[in-house]
Amino acid sequence: MTRELFDQALIEEATKKSGLVWVRGAGAPAARALWHVWHGGAVCLVGDGPGEQPLTGLADGGSAEVTVRSKDKGGRLVSWPATVSELAPGSAGWEAAVAELKGKRLNAPDAEAMPQRWSRECRVLRLVPAGAPAPLPEDNLAARPVPTPATTRQPVPAALPRLLTRRRRKK
């Protein structure tokens, strides 16, 4: 097996099995975790619309770096360069990608009308592998999370632990 075929198989299998990929577009300050599907030899993404993931730094004809994590341990498996292309709404490629993406979209408020909303308000991108995977880094590359409007849960009310540990009264 040649090295190119091995690299292609590694990228495809790791990306298919991962629920998230970390993508850093050209000029973006940091990578973002994005949900995706592997379809037709590329990562397909949808976003930049209301209620959808941001696709910061990803432009049609641009480049990106994709890092795939392990589904069970969450560690880095492989990083690879990609070329970005935006699919035109209604095209055959767009329809095929959206059919795959629709099945993977969790918690959609409008499951049946989602493709129409995506065609009006969102972008569908393909990230095609464009070279050999990058070697794994020597250090851990830990970085602060990217700022987001998402919030964590509120503090536990003070009375909750007492309510949970209170025993039932015997009759």
Q: Find the range with the poorest average confidence among 23-27, 31-35, 162-166.
A: 162-166
27-52 residue pLDDT tens = 888 889 999 999 999 999 999 988 88
pTM, whole model, 2 decimals? 0.78
Whether residue 95 is predicted with pLDDT greater than 80 in this model: the reply is: yes
Residue 167: the pLDDT is: 60
Percent of the chain with pLDDT over 70: 94
- For the stretch 147-163, what's the b/e string if a residue is b when 16 or more beta carbons lie within 10 angstroms of its beta carbon? eeeeeeeeeeeeeeeee
Q: Could you give all domains of the chain from N- to C-terminal order, each with its CATH number?
A: 3-165 (2.30.110.10)
